[in-house]
Structure 1
């Protein structure tokens, strides 16, 4: 195991990483980012090239659209136009990203929540940024934490974070987003780049969900059906949002997104990993129907809270990710668990368990292909693992001195309190049916808890970080973990944060970053 550092800024160019990707879902729009986590396998990797030449950014390099919070903006093409649709805590924003543009076209409030965008105006958000910047420059920990209340008043809160968090754009150019606990909004711009989004349909699924639950994700499967995941429950809908089937998880929370292949849907709850299939008449994880369910190592809620875990249930905090897309590949689904002795990277056999495979010591079932201790974190990982080929990377997001508040953690971490640090890569050995640690970079500041993106063409990982408390974007070598490029943001403002998002690598090499206060296009593409 090597410990890569942030030295050697001018490493030689490495070869293109060899990897395959999930088959394109024909029911989704054909773009670089039709859904959360890029593709049905949730690999957070792309075949096209990212930038390779680091530099200090100037203000004109960063174009922003103000908003309270967005995690996963999606992208579609309309002729020669590139349109970004961002599900936010207060509504849906349409942005024209054609060429080098990044301009707001429209804001569509969630029905029944029209007052929210009136609260999170550009002026109000700029006012909060100014206060936060002053507190950060003074290293005033108490003031930073106290600003949490103002952030909540401007629609950044746990209560609203599920609004629009995991959406998608279908093949007709319509955008789907969950909001207001039990509702799904289907919107359209009639595939006209200049037109605002309008409501096409609203489905309130409350009568089909247990009382007190809330939707956290909507995803369109390879057969066109829509999986609506809720806290302890799921629904299968048709494209008109009519319920076809339901499945209970016995009160076990689903806290993040899902992944899927042509044979089933992979869902992790606070206690079990599932493969769920639709038989044509019911949703099932029964092996007789082609599904399965497996326990994995977890901790109690109390243990999770005491350890500073961002995941409150004590289970996995990650969106599952698939590995293996070609004939002959080991077909795996991967999570980080909630083991109280230290989180593990865990791989489950997606399909038939190989003949003669023996259950490994310390695992909860024979369905688990392997698990290995993640050295950089003691509690479960929140950013989902990212996969390219047989490699997988995880980030530490354990705050050494947590505030127990998401706003406070991200803005005090790496500034007035210690940062959550470290990235680790593992490789899957198909002959041994085992993970091996490849490298650790212990210098990466992960206080933005942002999912990186991997480019196969440049063999680089692009990730949000901080240096001396100020925001930077880094390009790490996929094979070694060493830093190959660094982009420093123009100044020391907190406006450059990318909290809770997923890095989108646009086709020209520019980065698109979600986060608090705005969605940003960082114009560093070299194509």
Structure 2
């Protein structure tokens, strides 16, 4: 059963001065209220604790999990595998892009489905994981067709309820017949945010799941909120918010903390929100929200080229687990020559001094990302940093000549930049790995490969295969790149097509639950299937 969406508008996208100081007394916060639900964490190096409220599939939210790490312990194609490509074309959507895909828990018949949302126009899709068949497509009654990222990010909970933040509402979708894999999609609930949960003319942007089962969200104009995922309490009565721009909502965007990326959360109640002015930890203790700390970073010049907003272009990643001495939140900054930046996410170590004059004391490391070019003066990424353990991987999104975008309206520059990403003479090139060294407490460049071109996809990693994956282009032909995590060498290439249909358009590359790689593209999914392999042991 398929309900056709309305005619298509242009698509988008993603992802996708150093003011502020450490808030006094920002000690590690008490964990949020415990949950009686349990889950099993894969046995794999550096694996974050599983969130029992996310779908029991290994990939229940944007950037995989509440940590937003983007990496997976599940199997994926190896360098010498025979890999096939399957094209899934979403009905009626020749250009709309599913930025992120989430995978359901197992149904009674053993199967799974993939859930995804698109933003231009608004639509919800349900796809069978094993076959790639489209089960249903639903267009919300109040479809949003404007250019923007509201609705790009989503969360799938353990009850297979699909939460999408769209405009000023959080919508909840699920199976019309509960527990039936082939059931049509139904709108189960919708929470329209009251005016008190918005900051003037505002829209939802980021969304994640707290470890005690609350949907956490951030709006474009700096409101951070939580509401229970339990549909019996999914209402404004149980909604709590904190406004990063409290008392200033009548001011222009340029004067406010603006959010243009998604958010992340850890098991101690920290919710991480990067804005156009600062990196913020908002603290949730199961009863109330408050600002934990705020730290300035290099916001850089006004956005241009691929940038969707001022400041950082990355969803904050949570780095380090309870077993690690050093724990961070990770972004790339907005400098003309972009830096990887690690912030201490808990208490700043005693005696820690700013690593450079003028930098916030909470910054643990700040390293220029040059992609192997010692003469580089300009690098940009509009993707979340890929992290695993103390490793960070960044891809280059800067066109060879971004001056071609200068005469265009800012709103459409990212779209044109994405299209030019498939042109070899203009495409971005470069990928780099930077590691935190806990012995020296510094960051070190491990390798850089200036030849790889992953123009606009959000990369992923399978620790089982040891490969980093992303939708790349070689000589104008799109396809799946597989890059060795240890050395940076290109180890796998699966060609797709030179047509715009395989342009990743800022969408995520993801490791599916069955050992396959899923890639959102213009109008659908490129699904790369490798041999069946056994998944990780669980503990």
Measured after TM superposition, the shift of residue 205 of structure 1 is 0.8
Gaps of 5+ in 2: 1-42, 246-255, 534-539
Note the 1:90-489 alignment, pairs <5 A: 90-98=122-130, 101-113=131-143, 158-159=147-148, 161-163=149-151, 165-179=152-166, 181-189=167-175, 190-207=178-195, 208-232=197-221, 233-239=223-229, 240-243=233-236, 244-250=239-245, 251-263=256-268, 264-285=270-291, 291-301=292-302, 304-305=303-304, 308-313=305-310, 315-340=311-336, 342-362=337-357, 364-376=359-371, 378-402=378-402, 403=405, 404=408, 405-415=413-423, 417-447=425-455, 449-489=456-496
In the alignment, the residues of structure 2 paired with residue 409 and residue 492 of structure 1 have an alpha-carbon distance, to the nearest angstrom, of 16
Q: Does 1:34 align with 2:60?
A: yes
With over 3 angstroms needed to count, the CA separation of the structure-2 counterparts of 1:374 and 1:467, relative to structure 1, is same
Q: Deviations over 1:283-325 (max 9, x none)?
A: 212xxxxx21111111232xx33xx351332x11101112111
Measured after TM superposition, the shift of residue 25 of structure 1 is 0.8
SS at structure 2 position matched to 1:78 = coil
In the alignment, the residues of structure 1 paired with residue 83 and residue 77 of structure 2 have an alpha-carbon distance, to the nearest angstrom, of 13
Say whether the 8 Å CA contact 1:175–1:187 is kept in structure 2: yes
Gaps of 5+ in 1: 1-16, 117-154, 286-290
Partner of 1:505: 511
In the alignment, the residues of structure 1 paired with residue 186 and residue 123 of structure 2 have an alpha-carbon distance, to the nearest angstrom, of 12
The counterpart of 2:100, out of the listed 60, 72, 79, is: 72
In the alignment, the residues of structure 2 paired with residue 46 and residue 166 of structure 1 have an alpha-carbon distance, to the nearest angstrom, of 19
In the alignment, the residues of structure 2 paired with residue 29 and residue 375 of structure 1 have an alpha-carbon distance, to the nearest angstrom, of 37
In the alignment, the residues of structure 2 paired with residue 267 and residue 456 of structure 1 have an alpha-carbon distance, to the nearest angstrom, of 27
Partner of 1:8: none
Measured after TM superposition, the shift of residue 184 of structure 1 is 1.1
Say whether the 8 Å CA contact 1:65–1:103 is kept in structure 2: no
Say whether the 8 Å CA contact 2:75–2:515 is kept in structure 1: yes
Say whether the 8 Å CA contact 2:424–2:474 is kept in structure 1: no
Say whether the 8 Å CA contact 2:396–2:429 is kept in structure 1: yes
In the alignment, the residues of structure 2 paired with residue 206 and residue 467 of structure 1 have an alpha-carbon distance, to the nearest angstrom, of 48
Measured after TM superposition, the shift of residue 63 of structure 1 is 4.0
SS at structure 1 position matched to 2:418 = helix
TM-score (ref. length: structure 2) = 0.79
Say whether the 8 Å CA contact 2:501–2:521 is kept in structure 1: no
Q: Deviations over 1:100-144 (max 9, x none)?
A: x0111111212322xx8xxxxxxxxxxxxxxxxxxxxxxxxxxxx
* Bigger helix fraction: 1
Q: Does 1:21 align with 2:47?
A: yes
Say whether the 8 Å CA contact 1:22–1:40 is kept in structure 2: no
Say whether the 8 Å CA contact 1:311–1:380 is kept in structure 2: no
Say whether the 8 Å CA contact 2:44–2:73 is kept in structure 1: no
SS at structure 2 position matched to 1:436 = strand
Kindly report the root-mean-square deviation, in angstroms, between the aligned alpha carbons of the 2 structures.
Answer: 2.1
Q: Deviations over 1:322-341 (max 9, x none)?
A: 2111423311111011124x
Say whether the 8 Å CA contact 1:503–1:513 is kept in structure 2: yes
In the alignment, the residues of structure 1 paired with residue 73 and residue 81 of structure 2 have an alpha-carbon distance, to the nearest angstrom, of 24
Say whether the 8 Å CA contact 1:296–1:363 is kept in structure 2: no
